[in-house]
Amino acid sequence: MTTLTTPAAPATAAARPAKAASRGPRGRALLYWIATHALAIALSLMFVGPLVFVALTAVMTNDQALTGDLWPRTWNWSNFADVFAKSHLLAWVGNTFLYAGLGTAFMLLSSVPVAYAMARFRFRGRKPAFLAVITMMMLPPQVVAVPVYLIWARLDLTGTLWPLILPMLFGDAFSIFLLRQFLVTIPREYTEAAKVDGCSDFRTLVRVILPMARPAIAAVGLFQFFYCWNDYYGPLLYAQTNEANWTLSLGLASFRALHSVQWNLTMAATLLVMAPVIIVFFFAQRVFIEGVTLTGVKG
C-alpha cells in the first residue's frame, strides 16, 4: 500500500529563508542608520535624559522621590497644584515676563540702530567705537557692580527690577556685535537703491534692512530673552530685599531652600519654570527659520 506525501513541510522551510531575506535589507539599513547617527543619538540622550528624570520625579510621591526608583508608582499630578499653593509662582512668572519682555524690546530698539550705523555709515571714530563695543563684551558685570549699584540706590530704584531693565535702552554690546556682523553681509546696492528712490536713512532701515535682518534680530532677541529669564545675579543684587519683585530664578532658589527634602515639589517647580522657555524657543525657532527663508541674501 502506497502512501502519499505532502510537500507542506519543505514549502514552509523554504518560505522561512525567503522571509528572513526580505527582512535582511531593512535590518541592515536600520543598523547602518544607528551606526551613522550614534554620536547624535548619544548626545540626544545626554540632553533629554535629565529632562525626563525631572518630569518623572515631579509626579512621584515624596517618599518615592528619595528612593532609587526611576518610574512613578502613582502619578501625583497634585504636586503642580501644591507648588502654586506653597509659593508665589504666578507673581514670579509675571515679574520674569516683565523683565525679559521689556529688556528684550528695549535692547532691540537701541541695538539695531547702533549696529546699522556701524555697518553702513562712514564716520570718524567708527573703528574705536567698534573696539569699545568689543571691550564691553569682555568686561564682566561684577567689575562695575558697586558703582552702578550706588547710582541706582541714589535714584531709589533698588528693590525693583528697573535697574535691570532701563540699561537695555542703551544697547547691549553682544547684540550690537552680532547685528553689525550680519548687516555687513547685506549688499550696499539695496540701501543705495532705496536712497535713489528718495528714502531717508530711517526709512531705509525700517523698510529695507529690517526685513532682511530678521534672522539676526530673532537670534539676538532669543539670546536676550533667555538671558533675562535665567538671570539670577541681577535680581539677587537688586530685588532680593523685596519679595514682590522676585523673578523665577530667585524664587525657585528660595523654594528649593524651603522644600529641599521634598524633591518631588522641587522638580515640579523646576518643570513649571522650564515650560515657558521651551515654548518660547519653539516659537522663536519658527520665526528664525521663516526669516532665513524670506531673506534670500547672498553676501
Q: What is the 3-state secondary structure (H, E, C) of 178-215?
A: HHHHHHHCCCHHHHHHHHHCCCCHHHHHHHHHHHHCHH
Place of cell 507673581: 91
Q: Is 155 helix (H, G, I), strand (E, B) or coil?
A: coil
Q: Which pLDDT value is given to residue 105?
A: 94
Q: Which pLDDT value is given to residue 298?
A: 42
List per-block mean pLDDT (blocks of 10 residues) for the chain, which spans 299 residues: 49 49 67 83 84 85 76 83 85 92 93 90 84 86 88 91 92 88 85 84 86 85 88 90 88 78 82 82 68 44
Amino acid at 145: A
Q: Are 266 and 253 in contact (CB under 8 A)?
A: no
Give the separation between CA 297 and CA 299, rounded to whole angstroms.
Answer: 6
What DSSP character marks residue 4? P
Q: Which pLDDT value is given to residue 287?
A: 66
Q: Which pLDDT value is given to residue 133?
A: 87
**Residue 102: which of 161, 145, 178 has the closest Cα?**
161
Return contacts of 205-211, CB within 8 angstroms, 24+ apart.
205/112, 205/113, 205/116, 209/116, 209/183, 210/112, 211/294, 211/295
Amino acid at 44: S
Q: Which pLDDT value is given to residue 290?
A: 56
Q: Rounded to two decimals, what is the model's pTM?
A: 0.77
Q: Are 217 and 210 in contact (CB under 8 A)?
A: yes
Q: Is the dihedral of CA 171, 174, 175, 180 positive or negative?
A: positive
